[in-house]
Amino acid sequence: MPLAELTGVLERVAAARGGVLGVLPGLLVEPDDSWTPLQELTREPYTLLSALIEQTAGRYDAPRHVGAALLWKTLGYWLTFPMAVGWALDGRAPVMRFEDTYFKQSEAGVTVAATAVTVVDSPQAIAEALRQSQEPLVKAISGQARVGARTLWGSTAEAFAHPMTAVLQGDYMGLLRAVGRPVDGLLEQTADGYRRRTCCLWVTLPEAEPCSTCCVLRESCAA
């Protein structure tokens, strides 16, 4: 998969969204002072991460753990988005290593990019990328805000499924099964798509309606 082909798809998605996209279409960046290394979010005593959690909670007038879950729903989505689109495009996925990835706040919530990108062609390599680049963040957020890691990984699972339905059609359930833990088993197939087996906690906000894929729309919902 030439990155130029993926960039073209992401540019079209950005144009359809009025230019608001949470990942640079070209994926690559030469960071200036407006960009922050993603690793800073896992640096003790977690000052930056805590500030972002509090900011998100304040935006929605939500408890801290809900703010943390919604922060990850946004950040995890954009970190996963190019992998999902790339896989749907031709069975290969661009991987941004943890130490190479940067972020900044934006109209999309956050925007991410990296100083280097590697293209992988197996679900096992995607699984390793999740362990290397997302697991440290999930652990930090879960520890700082007492929100379950399974809840957070549910948002990553959906971050594979949503682009593979809304952007390019792809077998997201097959991919999640092949990737395995920690994302396998967190979505279930429905007649019209998929439903989460965990809740992103959006529905706990005052007067919020459940997402169309929310597990509260069925009889049980796991944390």
pLDDT means per 10 residues in the chain (223 residues)?
A: 88 96 98 98 98 96 96 98 98 98 97 98 98 98 96 97 97 98 96 91 81 70 56
Q: Residue 215: its pLDDT value, please?
A: 78
pTM of the complete model: 0.94
Q: Residue 117: its pLDDT value, please?
A: 97
- According to DSSP, the β-strands at 193-196 and 101-106 are unpaired
Distance in angstroms between the alpha carbons of the first and the last residue of the chain: 37
* Whole-angstrom distance, CA of residue 12 vs CA of residue 92: 19
The neighbouring-strand residues paired with 105 are 110
Looking at residue 121, its amino acid is: D
Whether 111 contacts 92, CB under 8 Å: no
Cβ-based burial of 51 (10 A; exposed 0-12, middle 13-18, buried ≥19): exposed
Q: With b meaning 16 or more CB within 10 Å and e meaning fewer, what string describes 23-34?
A: bbbebbbeeeee
Q: Residue 217: its pLDDT value, please?
A: 65
